[in-house]
Chains A and B, each alone.
Chain A
């Protein structure tokens, strides 16, 4: 019983990171129609940058904020330099371009940081907390907190603010939004900047648990993508549930069956979902295309 609970908490921690990545993917997709396959690379960049800044003497919060800003700049540059110039290209072309960007970022990260893992201290000191008999380390709570804060913030922005409604208008009907003077290209830029910030934040929060390496973004990006597909690719709530579910399934699969199975779980889940419910588990079937 305690063991299962332990698995569940570990799974939710991992799943929170997947959920954050999926959230960024889905938001970008809804606004721009583009699946950003470089989203995982934002996670790696944020994590590695924070490690470097921290070891250079910055405090942990300062390293965090600078890493988030730097990655936001990378996201913004990516949009201006490679996404915006091909805005009339087909979606498949855009996806291939984002894959190219992810390979390039990973290559640069390898040059800058090498293959060694980097680490950050846990945000708060002290041993694991006992929750219902299972041990939960404090960093997991930080990770879970990041997800809650992000989701709440995004929800409040989209539902309660004028600018958030302008973004939703653009998702609902791009042409009509343009007629109102809402500029989809500025929203596209914003989406990539926010994706950079979200990715970097997730990377910094997870590093005390998993360490940071130049290639961590590949598998994280893939898992976030699977989580988004599970949720139905254009559904924010679905992406969060998909991420948490995937994290939990992975840990249970690794713990109960074989640790070699961990990465296969995502692909198995993806195939099952695509076969049984291609519209995702939350699945409002939607032909909407922005």
Chain B
């Protein structure tokens, strides 16, 4: 069953069209990688699904219910969380407060479960343990990314979307984060992973789509994508031949 269905999504930033009819879906319990060069429209896509940007046209169904043009608050309550680009943690607040605010939408009804959920997140990211009272802004980039993901998990998402979580991080931290994503999938969370780091994303993904200038130009299994010339083309602009090595890295 599809947990997310997106049909013909069109989004403008002012007069510039960022999405030109995006259609794709995510099945329950899979990791879908979304690849694409700079400015392709990946962040616009995730922002629109989360209710941050308004769509001009198109349909979005989450768990069979239309969520297009709903508020971000409504959407996160339904179980769709976004870990935004550049982390966007609350710098001046503590790690603990960042995590607790991730559960804002159910604070009134469900206060009692917050500490339990925080314990779960600290179990997933042990590196954050013992730092609960530290100010989030002073953490290293890797810890900030873990905090951003942890904050997203505090909302108890059915579908977790991550926008370039690996950017600027050391390879070992990237691997750790990708392992966490695999584990979350095993626990039943569906994941949409936007990445410039195609190698890392394709390694954990079940399926992938490539976006170019606001449209999905390719979709398929990672094994199909790594051998596709156009995938390599989509990445040459930024990673300078990096994607050309993807197939090698995978041993395909």
Identify the stretch in B97-105, B193-201, B221-229 within 8 Å (CB) of chain A at 4 or more residues. B97-105
Q: Give complex CA distance A54, B151 in Å.
A: 51
Identify the stretch in B68-76, B121-129, B172-180 within 8 Å (CB) of chain A at 4 or more residues. B68-76
Are A182 and B52 interface neighbours, CB within 8 A? no
Contacts of A176 in B (CB 8 A): 84, 88-90
Once A175-B88, A181-B73 are accepted as A-B contacts, the answer to whether A166 and B52 lie under 8 Å apart by CB is no
Q: Give complex CA distance A168, B97 in Å.
A: 11
* CB interface residues, A 166-187, toward B, < 8 Å: 166, 168-169, 172-173, 175-183
Contacts of B89 in A (CB 8 A): 173, 176
Does A289 reach chain B (CB closer than 8 Å)?
no
Residue of A nearest to B74 (CB): A181
Are B92 and A168 interface neighbours, CB within 8 A? yes
Once A165-B101, A166-B101, A169-B101 are accepted as A-B contacts, the answer to whether A181 and B76 lie under 8 Å apart by CB is yes
What size tier do the contact residues of chain A reach?
10 to 19
Q: Give complex CA distance A182, B106 in Å.
A: 11
Are A173 and B81 interface neighbours, CB within 8 A? no
What size tier do the contact residues of chain B reach?
20 to 34
> Mask for B153-181, Cβ within 8 A of A = 1, else 0?
00100000000000000000000000000
Among the listed A165, A169, A172, A178, which residue makes an inter-chain contact with B72, where contact means beta carbons less than 8 Å apart?
Answer: A178
Are B100 and A179 interface neighbours, CB within 8 A? no
Q: Which 6 A-B residue pairings sit nearest by Cβ, starting from the closest?
A: A181-B105, A181-B73, A176-B88, A180-B104, A178-B72, A169-B90
Are A172 and B92 interface neighbours, CB within 8 A? yes
Are B107 and A162 interface neighbours, CB within 8 A? yes
Q: Give complex CA distance A166, B93 in Å.
A: 10
Q: Give complex CA distance A165, B135 in Å.
A: 13
Contacts of B73 in A (CB 8 A): 178, 181-183
Interface centre among A172, A173, A180, A182 (most CB of B within 10 A): A180
